[in-house]
Amino acid sequence: MYSVLHLKNRTYLILFFLLQHLFGISFAQQIPIEYNGKGSIFEYIKYAKDKQKDLGERKEYVEKARALLLLEKNDSLRNKYFSEIALAYLNLNDSLNFRKFNSESIRLSRKLGDSITLANDYWDLAAHHSNEDVKDSAFYNFYRAQKIFIGLKDSLTAAKMLLSMARVQADLEDFTGSEITTIEAVRIFKSLNANGQLYECYSTLGKNYNQLGEYQQALFYHKEALVYLDKLKKDPKNAKDRSLNFIGVVYRNMGENLKAAENFQQALANDALKKHDPELYAALLDNLAYSRLKLQDTLGIYELFNRALYIRDSLSDYGGIAINKLHLIEYYLYKKDTSKAIQEAKDVVAITTGKKNYRDKLSALKILASLEKDYKYGEAYIKLNDSLVKAERTIRNKFARIKFETDEYIEKTEELSQQKKLILIISVIIIILGSLVFVIINQRIKNKKLQLEQDQQKANEE
């Protein structure tokens, strides 16, 4: 009898650990792992991410981490390292190695049920696609990450994914869709008192409404952004000067060029911009010159335009160069120098071709069609404009389809996963019950045999 009970206890223990494994793995993998030790993988990864170090030195450190990773046998640790090394490669703009390590981390995360690492992997992949200007793939992966962060009850990071999705929508000129997504993020950030993120959200809303031509709403949201910025202990990345630039652009679009110029000048009063944010500094110079042109205050603006253009050229800021040249075209037309205006317009067409900067290319083609007698510019303008109108109609449906298909995939995956778990549990229970029945029957047979032997022995003794 003892042997049967002992076997039962062992069987229940086996069943308990199997069930714990089946239901507990996704939680176990979410426990943060502490990395330490001199010359460890984590230490090399940390150095590889340090932007204060030389680029070549950072690459050496990530290769050292990669070499040590080959010696690691623990899958949970390997997965964390794969994800961290992938991020290091992303920061080093090494797309090939990033995709290799990111893909492996996604595979391992799914296998291990490591939800935290999987969400971060999708976030990194979305950032990669955004850098590569593959916006629909960026949106898709931000959305996948957001769904996982919601499941992990990480509201702050889930809302950050929403804001990133909204920016992608704005980049693809789905300004209404971007507005809806941003407002969804605002609700979450407000509940968390996340003032820095609220600044970013209201700034995004301001830019969206400016593009939609709703300038009063744009001004309201840009000024609301500054309210939340004032609540922060320090101004992150010259955010106030960036907002002043946005506000200036809105005023200019409203025809209030004096107010526009005042905002640009206020931002330019920050002498540190030239060194620490030359891209913004160049934009402010260009915008100030353009607003003064609108006011017919042209003294010294040609020099401002060219200073901005020189900086943008040194930064390879092709979007900025195109805008700068469009402003110069208006300057040359104001000066009645048509030949220079035509040349600048041709430059804009050349710069924007292949850069997905369709709006500026469209503006340049429209100018050329009006200034040149060549019909090809008019035809090119009509063709590009028609394709943009068609793209605007489809992009909204594309984002909705991405959300629907992702939700459907997640639902089916979760359903399939639950089915597999249920089948496995039932199979284990059947095997255990079968084993118990076999052991009990076998033990009863042995007991009967033993009883018969004892009875026979007693009969022989009599």
Q: Of 184-188, 200-204, 433-437, where does mean pLDDT reach its minimum?
A: 433-437
| pLDDT exceeds cutoff 90 at 34 | no
Average pLDDT in the 193-222 region? 97
pTM, full prediction: 0.78
pLDDT 10s digits, 285-332: 999 999 999 999 999 999 999 999 999 999 999 999 999 999 999 999
Q: Which of 253, 167, 236, 263 is nearest to 208 (CA)?
A: 167
pLDDT 10s digits, 15-27: 444 444 444 333 3
* pLDDT interval class at 462 (50, 70, 90): low
| pLDDT exceeds cutoff 80 at 383 | yes
Average pLDDT in the 178-193 region? 97
Angle of CA points 271, 327, 223, to nearest 5°: 55
**Quick one: 151 exposed, middle or buried, by C-beta within 10 A (0-12, 13-18, 19+)?**
middle
Q: Of 3-17, 257-271, 443-457, where does mean pLDDT reach its minimum?
A: 3-17
Query: d(Cα 456, Cα 451) in Å, to the nearest integer?
Result: 8
What single-letter amino acid sits at 207? K
| pLDDT exceeds cutoff 60 at 219 | yes
16: Cα within 13 Å, side-chain hemisphere: 6
pLDDT at position 444: 79
Query: d(Cα 283, Cα 242) in Å, to the nearest integer?
Result: 10
Domain ranges of the chain: 27-137
| pLDDT exceeds cutoff 90 at 361 | yes
CB of 161 within 8 A of CB of 190? no
Handedness of CA 146, 148, 153, 156 (dihedral sign): negative
How much is the mean pLDDT over the chain?
87
pLDDT at position 242: 97
pLDDT at position 72: 87
CB of 229 within 8 A of CB of 243? yes
